[in-house]
């Protein structure tokens, strides 16, 4: 816990009354209309500058030339099958990224839409792995105000800026609308999952308006947090002497982003629901046989609020209602005709046309009176289909069914339950927001970084077995990636395999004999999709999630980033997983179960690794996969193909460490017993990399860890420390589960490895980068104590003396943090001991946001509070503050000292929740016995024999040759 006030941090850096008049705040302070004291803020007229992407140096470009050519060829091959490669640095979005994002809409796992701080709806991710960055400008809220007698009228779109071609003569589209808002007196306030936009006298000087955006992201609530819906609550305060008629208008295009609205066959229809909830359904027919999507826009009619709709309008045409006609009707009447509710479905749109809908809510606001008007948006896409054919139902369908028309029920629940959602959100957030010992910037950045669990690309299924799109069987063009590979026999360590766990080594194929062997090995009848897909571990003769039938939280995927389209990238999840474990622990355990099954699986299909051009098998038994796949998750793992990750040195230790942390934090013995065979296999697999049998693994002279462009020689601080910590975690877990022989084995290795890493890497003040003789072998790596961070986070004893830990962390603070941008940019990955940035490769010279947060968490655990918050504040200053580069709600993986980013909207910055974990560890960790388990484990002759026990995992030869500086567009 933080012991006292952190005076070096600005305690009140974002006071609301510096952005909104204090009187206005007081007037709006009813029914939740006033923004909170702690929030991220921006004026609506702030400039949304374009963001600058990183570039490689000439020497880096030369070193990556061969890789680039192979990657380009791979991207083209994937495109020929109608698929997007998981890493594609050659295709750029037409919409250049800018500093314009805000809090995204909806819960987790059902697609997402972001909303910019100036009000535009953008960054569409309704279909898995597909992202449309540009805004759909028709999607707006607008306001129309008429004072008694009609002498005063105001009308404006509630978003600043000018639409292209505004007021063009004869225009019938949205540029004919009144874009009168300057944004000078309007402000945006964000505290995920809510946001407030305050219009302080715009467009009517005597009307104060607050729009509150609420989404159902509620920790430990595994039902409503899956809902694809958001509410927009308008609070209106009339400060004038005249009664005012106020009409609010929500307009929406039948689109899922990009140019999807032009494809045709889209249909709109009005609806009247229960409890006064009325609106329009927009049925969208997606391209390429993707499942359809239905939007619902609605408002809640009350005694004081009248709701009307316009089911269809168009952006052009002479024989139909246009956007211009829609605006004119609202200016004239402030509402539409009630007969519109009886109009039925519209005719399908034609290709090239844009079909739109509108919902109006009108009310009278008395002089000095107040009123609330609520709108809701929902989208229903019950099926999620991946590009190789597997189809799942989304999590929310367990509560609303599988009809696209469930969007009606979603907006109803949103409009009738949002106050309960807010109570739960405030109950969760207030203890942190009210903690006077914490810096102000930290509080709202902590919550706002959670945007990624919605906008980063998430899929949350109902946990049931998938179906398969039969049409993909008959594709005219044969997909070379679906080559048949006959299963090979694999010896299994009986101690590592409990019950009827089956290891499958087949691929998608039409071979009945292979399918038959699958069914026989697994002990159950496979679904069509499982027959058509790659390896899946099935335990106890049932579906992988059968153990969750009593309380099935489903299966969860989230992308490494919107540019790196790989699900649940594990070396990055190592940093991000603290957020899920703290807020949705059942989801975290579900992900770990998926990886535990994957460890024991093998997929013998051959793939080409782009870094060196060599071929290898997709998934080696015993190796933790890099990811759960891209186009066929859970069945075709390791979409990443830059390096052969079966030779990476950090994935297996990270698996052991995460499993132990989750086991220790939840106290879930069933989980521990279930994943224990995989933990044993993961540890055993790593023994092949201890080639001199000194207990410590060696790196192989190529970038064989998460820093996949940063070469490592010999033993390394990063991988060595992770391995050391994983041995300790495995020993502690074995001890608790009663596997005493394995506990003794890991203890012996731990004691050996600890002596080696200290003798070969400790230089008196920090651990050298590696034991090689290269120019950067003595570099100060910011992440050198990652293993110690996890050990401390899990309640395990320190790996090293406290003096060594604090010395290394202080060195990182003095050099990697304070010598870069005056300590206001975060921690650079590599720094030479002479105080110069390590520029041996792209990644060594970068500042990684998630790693910086992790280093800060490590400092907190070591009692270095001031250094911790100063380090992390650099990410806030550069990424979130007004003086920074504009990375809010799109925190990138990395930036350089000159502010060029790499990989926006990235998973790793969720590691800020590791800081909160360090500040407030769970009760199970706090209450754990403060005993060094390693000292309680008896070393017997049995353990010595176990050291040479046959594990059944594959041994792979050392990498031939050295790919010394693999520079790619990924750091997975």
Helices and strands, number each (H, E), in the chain: 24, 31
Name every residue whose Cβ is closer than 8 Å to that of residue 308 and which is 6 or more positions away in sequence: 335, 336, 337, 338, 340, 359, 360, 362
Q: Give the model's pLDDT for residue 470.
A: 61
Query: Which residue, 622, 693, 606, is CA-closest to 955?
Result: 622
Answer whether residue 561 is part of any domain: no
Q: What pLDDT digit, counting tens, does each position of 885-923 carry?
A: 999 999 999 999 888 999 999 999 999 999 999 999 998
Q: Are the C-beta atoms of residues 748 and 942 closer than 8 Å to each other?
A: no
- Residue 620 predicted with pLDDT over 90: yes
Q: Give the model's pLDDT for residue 936.
A: 66
Q: Give the C-alpha distances (Å, rounded to integers) separating 447 from 451, 774, 885.
A: 8, 41, 20
- Residue 551 predicted with pLDDT over 50: yes
pLDDT level of residue 288 (50, 70, 90 thresholds): confident
Instruction: Report the alpha-carbon distance of residue 294 to residue 315 in Å, rounded.
Output: 20
Query: Percent of the chain, pLDDT > 90?
Result: 73
- Residue 235 predicted with pLDDT over 90: yes
Mean pLDDT of 221-244: 96
Looking up residue 801, the CATH number of its domain turns out to be 1.50.10.10
Of 419, 445, 471, which marks where a domain is finished? 445
Q: Give the model's pLDDT for residue 166.
A: 54
The more confidently predicted of residues 872 and 465 is 872
Query: Which residue, 256, 252, 258, is CA-closest to 270?
Result: 252
Name every residue whose Cβ is closer than 8 Å to that of residue 711 and which is 6 or more positions away in sequence: 701, 702, 703, 774, 840, 841, 962, 963, 964, 965, 966
177-181, 500-504, 847-851 — which is least confidently predicted? Answer: 500-504
Mean pLDDT of 108-128: 94
Q: Give the model's pLDDT for residue 171.
A: 72
Q: Give the model's pLDDT for residue 57.
A: 81
- Residue 528 predicted with pLDDT over 60: no
- Residue 317 predicted with pLDDT over 50: yes
Q: Give the model's pLDDT for residue 93.
A: 72
| Helices marked H in 600-703 | 651-666, 669-686
Of 445, 475, 500, which marks where a domain is finished? 445
Measured between alpha carbons, how far apart are the two ends of the chain, in Å?
A: 32
Answer whether residue 609 is part of any domain: no
- Residue 699 predicted with pLDDT over 70: yes
Q: Are the C-beta atoms of residues 706 and 627 closer than 8 Å to each other?
A: no
E strand residue ranges, 9-150: 40-43, 104-105, 112-115, 121-125, 140-147
Place of tokens 């997929």: 603
Structure tokens, 747:
């203890």
Q: Which helix (H) or strand (E) holds 229?
A: strand 229-238
- Residue 368 predicted with pLDDT over 60: yes
Q: What pLDDT digit, counting tens, does each position of 408-436 carry?
A: 999 999 999 999 999 999 999 999 999 99
Query: Which residue, 801, 803, 919, 800, is CA-closest to 861?
Result: 919
State which residues form the domain around 246.
22-51+96-164+171-445
Angle (CA) 306-307-311 rounded to 5° is 155
Answer whether residue 956 is part of any domain: no
pLDDT level of residue 520 (50, 70, 90 thresholds): very low
Query: Which residue, 660, 789, 654, 790, is CA-closest to 736?
Result: 660
Q: Give the model's pLDDT for residue 18.
A: 82
Q: Give the model's pLDDT for residue 751.
A: 94
pLDDT level of residue 941 (50, 70, 90 thresholds): low
The more confidently predicted of residues 474 and 93 is 93
Answer whether residue 481 is part of any domain: no
The sheet carrying 267-272 orders its strands as: 40-43, 186-191, 194-200, 207-214, 229-238, 370-380, 293-300, 277-284, 267-272
pLDDT level of residue 523 (50, 70, 90 thresholds): very low
Of 426, 445, 464, which marks where a domain is finished? 445
Cα dihedral value 747, 749, 750, 754, nearest 10: 150
- Residue 121 predicted with pLDDT over 90: yes
Q: Are the C-beta atoms of residues 87 and 564 closer than 8 Å to each other?
A: yes
Query: Which residue, 405, 387, 406, is CA-closest to 396?
Result: 406
Answer whether residue 44 is part of any domain: yes
- Residue 223 predicted with pLDDT over 80: yes
Q: Give the model's pLDDT for residue 14.
A: 66
Q: Is 96 helix (H, G, I), strand (E, B) or coil?
A: coil
How many folded domains does the chain comprise? 2
Q: What share of the chain is helix, strand, coil (3-state, %, to 5)?
A: 35, 20, 45
Answer whether residue 550 is part of any domain: no
Q: Is 230 helix (H, G, I), strand (E, B) or coil?
A: strand
Q: What pLDDT digit, counting tens, does each position of 159-212 carry?
A: 997 555 455 555 789 999 999 999 999 999 999 999 999 999 999 999 999 999
Answer whether residue 351 is part of any domain: yes
Q: What pLDDT digit, counting tens, does each position of 740-774 carry?
A: 999 999 999 999 999 999 999 999 999 999 999 99
Structure tokens, 20:
């909104």
Answer whether residue 357 is part of any domain: yes
Instruction: Report the alpha-carbon distance of residue 581 to residue 699 in Å, rounded.
Output: 30
Q: Give the model's pLDDT for residue 960.
A: 45
Q: Is 268 helix (H, G, I), strand (E, B) or coil?
A: strand
């Amino acid at each position: 816990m933080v012991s006292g006030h952190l005076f070096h941090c600005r305690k009140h850096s974002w006071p609301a009354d510096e952005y909104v008049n204090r009187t206005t705040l007081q007037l709006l302070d009813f029914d939740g209309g006033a923004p909170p004291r702690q929030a991220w803020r921006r004026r609506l007229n702030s400039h949304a500058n374009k963001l600058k992407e990183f570039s490689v140096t000439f020497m880096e470009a030369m070193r990556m030339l061969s890789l680039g050519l192979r990657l380009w060829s791979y991207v083209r091959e994937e495109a020929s099958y109608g698929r997007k490669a998981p890493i594609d640095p050659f295709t750029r979005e037409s919409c250049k990224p800018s500093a314009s994002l805000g809090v995204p809409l909806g819960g987790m796992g059902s697609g997402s839409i972001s909303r910019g701080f100036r009000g535009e709806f953008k960054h569409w991710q309704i279909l898995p792995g597909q992202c449309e960055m540009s805004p759909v400008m028709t999607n707006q809220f607008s306001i129309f105000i008429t004072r008694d007698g009609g002498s005063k009228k105001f009308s404006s779109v509630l978003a600043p800026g000018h639409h292209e071609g505004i007021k063009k003569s004869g225009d019938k589209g949205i540029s004919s609308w009144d874009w009168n808002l300057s944004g000078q007196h309007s402000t945006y306030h964000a505290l995920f999952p809510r946001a407030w936009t305050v219009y302080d006298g715009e467009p009517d000087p005597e009307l104060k308006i607050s729009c509150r955006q609420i989404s159902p992201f509620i920790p430990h609530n595994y039902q409503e947090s899956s809902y694809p819906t958001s509410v927009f609550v308008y609070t209106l305060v009339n400060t004038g002497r005249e009664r005012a008629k106020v009409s609010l208008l929500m307009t929406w295009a039948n689109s899922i982003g990009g140019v999807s609205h032009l494809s045709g066959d889209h249909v709109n229809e009005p609806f009247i629901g229960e409890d006064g909830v009325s609106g329009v359904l927009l049925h969208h027919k997606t391209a390429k046989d993707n499942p359809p999507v239905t939007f619902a826009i609605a408002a809640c009619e009350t005694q004081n609020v009248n709701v009307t709709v316009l089911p269809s309008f168009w952006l052009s045409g002479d024989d139909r209602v246009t956007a211009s006609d829609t605006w004119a009707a609202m200016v004239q009447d402030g509402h539409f005709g009630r007969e519109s509710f009886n109009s039925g479905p519209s005719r399908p749109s034609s290709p090239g046309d844009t079909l739109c809908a509108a919902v109006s809510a009108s009310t009278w606001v008395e002089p000095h009176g107040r009123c609330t008007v609520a709108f809701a948006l929902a989208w229903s896409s019950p099926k999620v289909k991946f590009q190789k054919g597997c189809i799942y139902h989304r999590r929310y369908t367990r509560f609303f069914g599988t009809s696209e028309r469930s969007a009606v029920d979603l907006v109803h629940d949103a409009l009738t339950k949002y106050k309960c959602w807010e109570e739960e959100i405030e109950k969760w957030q207030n203890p942190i927001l009210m903690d006077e010992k914490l810096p102000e910037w930290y509080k709202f950045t902590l919550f706002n970084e959670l945007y990624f669990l919605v906008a980063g690309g998430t899929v949350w299924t109902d946990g049931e077995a998938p179906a398969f799109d039969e049409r993909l069987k008959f594709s005219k063009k044969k997909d070379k990636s679906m080559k048949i590979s006959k299963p090979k026999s694999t010896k299994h360590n009986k101690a590592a395999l409990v019950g009827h766990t089956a290891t499958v080594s087949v691929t998608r194929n039409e071979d009945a004999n292979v399918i038959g062997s699958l069914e026989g090995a697994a002990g159950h009848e496979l679904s069509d999709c499982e027959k058509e897909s790659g390896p899946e571990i099935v335990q106890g003769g049932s579906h992988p999630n059968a153990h969750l039938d009593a309380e099935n939280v489903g299966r969860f995927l989230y992308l490494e980033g919107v540019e790196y389209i790989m699900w649940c990238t594990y070396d990055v999840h190592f940093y991000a997983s603290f957020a899920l474990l703290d807020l949705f622990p059942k989801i975290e355990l579900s992900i770990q179960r998926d990886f535990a099954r994957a460890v024991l699986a093998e997929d013998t299909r051959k793939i080409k690794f782009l870094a060196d051009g060599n071929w290898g098998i997709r998934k080696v038994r015993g190796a933790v996969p890099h990811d759960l796949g891209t186009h066929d998750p859970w069945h075709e793992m390791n979409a990443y193909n830059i390096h052969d990750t079966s030779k990476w040195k950090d994935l297996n230790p990270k698996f052991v460490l995460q499993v132990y942390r989750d086991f220790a934090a939840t106290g879930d013995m069933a989980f521990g017993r279930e994943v224990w065979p995989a933990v044993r296999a993961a540890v055993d697999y790593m023994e092949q990399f201890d080639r001199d049998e000194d207990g410590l693994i060696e790196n192989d002279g190529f970038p064989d860890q998460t820093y996949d462009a940063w070469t490592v020689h010999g033993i390394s601080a990063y991988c060595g420390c992770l391995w050391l910590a994983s041995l300790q975690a495995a020993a502690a877990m074995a001890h608790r589960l009663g596997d005493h022989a394995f506990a003794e084995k890991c203890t012996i290795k731990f004691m050996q490895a600890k002596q080696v890493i200290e003798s070969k890497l400790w230089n008196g003040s920090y651990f050298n980068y590696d034991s090689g003789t290269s120019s950067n072998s003595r570099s100060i790596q910011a992440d050198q104590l990652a293993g110690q961070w996890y050990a401390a986070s899990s309640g395990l004893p320190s790996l090293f003396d406290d003096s060594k830990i604090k010395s290394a962390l202080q060195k990182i603070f003095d050099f990697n943090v304070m010598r870069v941008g005056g300590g206001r940019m975060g921690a650079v990955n590599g720094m030479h001991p002479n105080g110069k940035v390590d520029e041996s490769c792209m990644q060594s010279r970068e500042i990684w946001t998630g790693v910086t947060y992790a280093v800060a968490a490590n400092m907190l655990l070591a009692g270095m509070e001031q250094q911790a918050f100063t380090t992390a504040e650099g990410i806030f200053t550069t990424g979130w503050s007004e003086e920074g580069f504009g990375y809010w709600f799109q925190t990138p993986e990395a930036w350089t000292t000159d502010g060029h980013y790499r990989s926006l909207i990235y998973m790793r910055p969720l590691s800020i929740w590791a800081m909160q974990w360090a500040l407030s560890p769970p009760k199970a960790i706090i209450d754990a016995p403060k005993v060094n388990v390693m000292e309680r484990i008896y070393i017997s002759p049995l353990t010595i024999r176990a050291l040479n026990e046959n594990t059944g995992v594959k041994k792979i030869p050392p990498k031939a040759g050295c790919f010394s500086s693999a520079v790619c567009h990924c750091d997975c």
